[in-house]
Structure 1
Amino acid sequence: MKYNFTFSLLFLLASVGVTAQVTLAKRIKGQVSSNGIPLEGINILNTSNINMVVSDSNGSFSILVNEGDILSFSAVNYETLRKYINTKEFKTGNILVDLTPKSIELNEVFINTRPDITAENLGIIPKNQIKLTPAERKLQTAGDFKPTHLLGVLGGALAVDPILNAISGRTKMLKKAVSVEKKEFLMLKLQTLFEDKYYLETLKISKDYVRGFQYYCIEDPDFVASLKGKNKTMCMFLIVGLATKFNKDKATDTEVQ
């Protein structure tokens, strides 16, 4: 009889515990976003009670949970996230979730083996269109002040930006950036034209001065014209003379020091 009483008591306590757990469950609200942008259509699954909802156009959702439940957030374009409902979140009844976009693996890219097929030939852009570098585009946007801009006063259409940029010094700075950019492009062309071995063994340029000699070359107008024209023969002819002069000047500087 004592055994039956003890068993009944334990059964009653267990029942009360189960009932308590059920009554502890409550509906909480949340919002799903990615980098601050609300996400619609995200699947939210409570893995404990298999209750599932979907976020609305504002990224908001409401779901029934117990403290300690685990919510699973999933979508095609986002990494799956498993979220544990802690005490604070359960008490406040609000949670915020930030999902990470899935990285998209690109297919293998093949370099165009048909150089005759270009955007111009396909009619995507007009032929012989002037192509501006990033620095040149910035200068064009800022406007290069010329005295003729003042004539706009007579027609009531004064171009203000070029004048303000000229006064502030921004135009001068942008022009300098264009000049530096052009030299960088020339340096890249020159570096692909000759190997380091050519500078060291043929031109007899010291290893420490190879880069300085390259800058020396792109300051020469005739060499630059040949480089832009992709005339390697002329570049080779001119660079020999430039190397002789460069080495002579370096030797003179060393003697003076």
Structure 2
Amino acid sequence: MKRLLLFALFFSWAFLVTAQSIDLFGKIKSGANVENIHVINKTQQRFTTTNTQGEFTIPVKVNDTLMFSSIQHKPHEQVVSEFIFKNKIIVVHLEEQVNELDEVNVGRLLTGDLMSDIENTTGEVPINFYDVGIPGYTGKIATESERNLYEANGDGVAFETLLLQVLTLNVSVNPIINAISGRTKYLKEHVEMERKSELLRKVKLRVSETFFELHSLPEDKRNDFFYFCEEDENFEEACQGKTDFEIFQFLEKKYKQYMENLEN
């Protein structure tokens, strides 16, 4: 009878420990950047990211499986043991993801002998506009669509100003024709579409793998899901310049809507 009672008490204690959930504090150590690493509780379907110090907090239970992933590190899984659970802290060492390329020799090989290498070297040094005292543009390079829009819109001049300049014979009539024909509007829409497509590409690269670890969706539906997200009027506001965690929250909201649409 005593043995049965002890067994029941032990079983009850083990069940309580297993069922109990705590906030586990963790820290990532690595030679690479430790910020914004994805931390996933695959058992409870929870997600978070690390801060600039590689620290994170996530709800766990005993025997939950945590997965750590980022572009710069090899994926790593860790089971929450009773020891980790009891101490409420974990330190994880991640291995850097090194993509080695095959060695490629381009041009002539250098021997190490200065005079010999000079004779075997060909080519001209490109001219830098700073070297000749000419001011140059160092900002973002415009895409072809952005350049076309800039030219069609009269170098960005307002329509009313263009009309006044045409009347005084100070500008070409092409921007006026483009505005009336609808070409300027078309180019603006094309630039907007390119910008959203580039943002979508970055979102997929950053969180796609982690998101579908937690949210089941067939392979042939995943691109369709992301296009569904892109069509949202708040897509750019929700994803441009945001953290992975904030993007994840937006995608989760869209995922619920997308699954409801599939069921209906």
The structure showing larger relative contact order (alpha-carbon pairs under 8 Å, at least 6 residues apart) is 2
* Structure possessing the higher radius of gyration over alpha carbons: 1
The TM-score normalised by the length of structure 2 is 0.42
